[in-house]
């Protein structure tokens, strides 16, 4: 059994607290160079203790999604850029199905400039954000509320979704995998997403590039049901091939180079 070095122990301690770290953030936390972190991360990867993901590392076996309260504060610049691009695809007067997620919450923020929308969502925060804004009618899909996602994700929520026919479904995803398609961490959230896909004329997925290497347990759907993927970086080659074969339009949002934290 390998005994972690001082720096490896510090890296593991940070990951146990935050769930995911970039090389740069670890270097800043440990007050060492990026190259020092990469060297120790390489050893931890070889030992199977951590996994490399897009832009950083996670603990091995970390297939649980961080709580909404933390995700909403992460990669804000990318999520707002994605949200702006998604909002540009929405016309006044549309009926929308929007699932719970940090990126879709930023989409709701961007939609405040639209008028005459009907929005059906299972997210408390999205409903709160749009309620009473720009002549927007909001339907909150109910049932038992879950603090970890800030939303309802049970059969009662699905029953309300099934009452509507929407122009667009706007969805978040836990991961996008070249082999398995669109994935989520929770079976109830995946069922809500499937219901929204079934009840919409067209589906848009809003997902930042971290989702291209994230690992999640539950399959939401294959590639064919998704008309448009809006992200902040071009997908890797294997995933891009699957998206193109399915006829999915991929839009890469232009990032603002402001001082806003990610």
DSSP H/E element including 87:
helix 76-87
- Just give the CATH number of 6-59: 1.10.10.10
pTM: 0.74
Same fold, 6-59 and 69-252: no
Q: Please state, in angstroms and rounded to a whole number, the distance separating the CA atoms of residues 131 and 23.
A: 40
Which residues have C-beta within 8 Å of that of residue 172, sequence separation ≥ 6? 99, 100, 101, 102, 103, 104, 205, 206, 207
From first to last of its 262 residues, the chain has per-residue pLDDT tens of: 466 788 888 888 888 766 678 888 898 888 899 999 999 999 888 888 887 766 678 776 555 555 555 666 677 888 999 999 999 999 999 999 999 988 999 999 999 889 999 999 999 989 998 987 768 999 999 887 777 677 888 889 999 999 999 999 999 999 999 999 999 988 888 999 999 999 999 999 999 998 998 888 889 999 999 999 999 999 999 999 999 999 999 999 988 755 444 4
Those residues whose C-beta lies under 8 Å from the C-beta of residue 181, and which sit 6 or more positions away, are 219, 220, 221, 222, 223, 242
Spell out the domain ranges in the chain.
6-59, 69-252
Q: Which CATH number fits domain 69-252: 3.90.230.10, 2.40.170.20, 3.40.50.1360, 1.10.238.10?
A: 3.40.50.1360
Cα dihedral across residues 67, 72, 78, 79: positive or negative:
positive
């Amino acid at each position: 059994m390998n005994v972690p070095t001082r720096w490896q122990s510090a890296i593991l301690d940070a990951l146990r607290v935050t769930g995911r770290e970039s090389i740069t953030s670890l270097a800043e936390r440990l007050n060492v160079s990026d190259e020092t972190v990469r060297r120790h991360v390489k050893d931890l990867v070889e030992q199977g203790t951590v996994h490399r993901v897009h832009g950083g590392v996670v603990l091995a076996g970390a297939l649980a999604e961080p709580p909404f309260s933390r995700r909403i504060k992460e990669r804000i610049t990318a999520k707002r850029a994605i949200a702006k691009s998604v909002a540009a695809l929405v016309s006044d007067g549309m009926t929308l199905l929007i699932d719970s997620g940090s990126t879709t919450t930023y989409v709701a923020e961007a939609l405040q400039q639209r008028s005459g929308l009907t929005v059906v969502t299972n997210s408390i925060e999205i409903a709160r954000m749009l309620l009473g804004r720009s002549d927007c009618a909001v339907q909150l899909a109910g049932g038992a509320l879950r603090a970890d996602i800030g939303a309802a994700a049970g059969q009662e929520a699905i029953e309300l979704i099934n009452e509507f026919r929407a122009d667009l479904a706007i969805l978040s995803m836990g991961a996008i995998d070249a082999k398995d398609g669109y994935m989520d961490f929770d079976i109830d959230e995946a069922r809500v997403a499937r219901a929204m896909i079934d009840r919409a004329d067209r589906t848009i997925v809003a997902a930042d590039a971290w989702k291209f290497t994230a690992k999640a347990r539950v399959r939401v759907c294959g590639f064919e049901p998704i008309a448009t993927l809006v992200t902040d970086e071009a997908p890797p080659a294997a995933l891009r091939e699957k998206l193109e074969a399915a006829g999915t339009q991929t839009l890469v949002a232009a990032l603002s180079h402001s001082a806003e934290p990610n």
